[in-house]
Amino acid sequence: MVKHIQRSILFSIILFLCLTGCAYRKTLFIADPAFMILFPKKFSLIKIETLALKSERDLLIQEIDKIVSRSRQDKVIVSPLYSTVLPFLAEKYPQKIFFSFQETSTLENLRFLKPERRELLIKTTDFIASYKEKFYPEKATLRIALVYYIGNTTRQEEYQLLKNKLRDLEAVSILLEETYQTLRDKNRIRSLCKNISEINPDLVLLFLGPENQFALENLSGSFKIITENRALSRYKEENILFSMEFDYRKALDKIAAASSLDLQTLVIPAFIRPGRGEIEKISPLLKQVFPESNI
């Protein structure tokens, strides 16, 4: 009788592990620590492997290749910072489907996760013009610092679009403009933050991707900030007007749950998340400029 009960319990445990394990093992997500800040809640259908950024590309490829080679997952999502290694991996492991945040090649087993926010960037310049007119009518222009990570084609296109639209505005003057192809030099980011704090512009447009959090921690001043992907961070809440957020979780959950994904490109939509310190003041203006964001 006891043995029968033990066998029944053991069978139930094995069955449970098989059912949950199979679902859990469908998708592997190779992430960098900074990107994981965007996901305070755990994934139920995705295995996470967090890998620190390596200074040398060859070493990075070796580390990621090691993770993929021992994995049993059919679908592999790779963090934006590691997208450059995907053509090598996709060619080496044709039986797996890889998901990249950067358009790197046209291999059959490589899918592109495309963050799309160009329309929101255009509307951001409309917001800035109205914000200046409503809250700073006495100023000739709003003095702006523009900082952008342009490490892939999508972000380069975004930066050019935003810069051109800002230059068309009579309401602004760009005091500081700085771009980053890579984000490995944190001393440069510290120096940038110090420079911004010293010139103390009216508005900082901070788009440093995975190092945005680090930059926010190192900024000080009375200026306002428009930024991106601050997740649940409370840094500089009194300064932040709003941030642009991508619904990465929904996209990754969709990949994990899907039995097949025929589309080569999966669009990740963006939305506006107001800062807590300024929400009452600017909420009517945000609703006017960004009606689709349900603010």
Q: How far, in Å, CA of 252 to CA of 268, rounded? A: 10
93 and 155 assigned to the same domain: no
pLDDT mean over 175-185: 89
Q: Is the pLDDT of residue 176 over 60?
A: yes
Which pLDDT belongs to residue 21? Answer: 44
Closest CA to 186 of 211, 216, 155, 221: 211
73 and 178 assigned to the same domain: no
Cβ proximity of 33 and 213 under 8 Å = no
Of 292 and 127, the structure prediction assigns the larger pLDDT to 127
Cβ proximity of 116 and 266 under 8 Å = no
Phi, psi of 211 (to 5 degrees): -100, 15
The model's pTM: 0.76
Q: Is residue 47 part of a domain?
A: yes
Quote the domain boundaries for residue 216. 116-246+269-293
**DSSP string spanning 221-250?**
SS-EEEEE--TT--TTTTTEEEEEEE-HHH
* Domain end residue (candidates: 94, 114, 134): 114
How many domains does the structure of the chain reveal? 2
Which pLDDT belongs to residue 249? Answer: 82
Per residue in 183-240, pLDDT (tens digit) is 878 899 999 999 999 999 999 999 998 788 889 989 988 899 999 987 655 667 789 9
Q: How far, in Å, CA of 72 to CA of 204, rounded? A: 45
* Domain end residue (candidates: 87, 114, 141): 114
Cβ proximity of 270 and 120 under 8 Å = yes
106 and 183 assigned to the same domain: no
Q: Is residue 215 part of a domain?
A: yes
Which pLDDT belongs to residue 141? Answer: 95
Per residue in 4-48, pLDDT (tens digit) is 555 555 445 444 444 444 444 579 999 888 778 777 677 778 899
Residue type, 204: V
11 and 98 assigned to the same domain: yes
Closest CA to 151 of 192, 179, 111, 176: 179
Phi, psi of 137 (to 5 degrees): -65, -20
Q: Is residue 83 part of a domain?
A: yes
**Mean residue pLDDT across the chain:** 85
Q: Is residue 54 part of a domain?
A: yes
137 and 282 assigned to the same domain: yes
* CATH, residue 10: 3.40.50
Q: How far, in Å, CA of 182 to CA of 76, rounded? A: 23
Which pLDDT belongs to residue 205? Answer: 98
Q: Is residue 262 part of a domain?
A: no
In the chain, % helix, strand, coil (3-state, to 5) comes to 45, 25, 30
Lowest average pLDDT, out of 155-159, 188-192, 290-294, goes to: 290-294
**Of all residues in the chain, what percent carry a pLDDT higher than 70?**
86
* CATH, residue 205: 3.40.50.2300
121 and 103 assigned to the same domain: no
3-class state of residue 233 by DSSP: coil
Beta bridge partner(s), residue 46: 27
Q: Is residue 263 part of a domain?
A: no
168 and 211 assigned to the same domain: yes
* Domain end residue (candidates: 114, 144, 166): 114
127 and 95 assigned to the same domain: no
155 and 288 assigned to the same domain: yes
Of 11 and 96, the structure prediction assigns the larger pLDDT to 96
